[in-house]
Amino acid sequence: MFKLIFILMLSFNCFADDHIPYITNQEEDNKVVQSNEWTSADTLRETVYFAVDAMDWAQTRNVSRHPDQFGESNPILGFHPSEHKVDLFFISAAFVHYEIAKWLPAEPRAMFQYATIIFEVDTVRNNLKVGAQIKF
């Protein structure tokens, strides 16, 4: 699973130049607006983030169903969160992630998306190591 996610992350480089528009003799303000538009590369990164985040969500739900075996390390959720609290947290976090990505200019947006994807991949990997299954 981790290798598949890693290969997907490496494939982002194919789309790296997708957000650089071709601009000819336009005013400086127009260049800034065009370079900050949402692109297919942004959509791809956001989709991968949501996919990996969904894995973390499923693992966290699994943790909440087995309080005798696992404890949650996220201080916002607490050590033994309810499934309802887990669902509310992940739905809210996904919405906030998308809104932040949409708000950021192009270059910081890509860095934000890559950083959060890497963080989520590492979280899922760590969860798998301790035995948290990806089950909704």
> The tokens of 65 are what?
């169903």
Domain ranges of the chain: 2-129
For the entire predicted model, the pTM comes to 0.75
Q: What is the pLDDT of residue 14?
A: 44
Per-residue model confidence as pLDDT tens digits over 37-80: 999 999 999 999 999 999 999 999 999 999 999 999 999 999 99
88 within 8 A of 57, measured Cβ to Cβ: no
Helix (H, G, I), strand (E, B) or coil at 38: coil
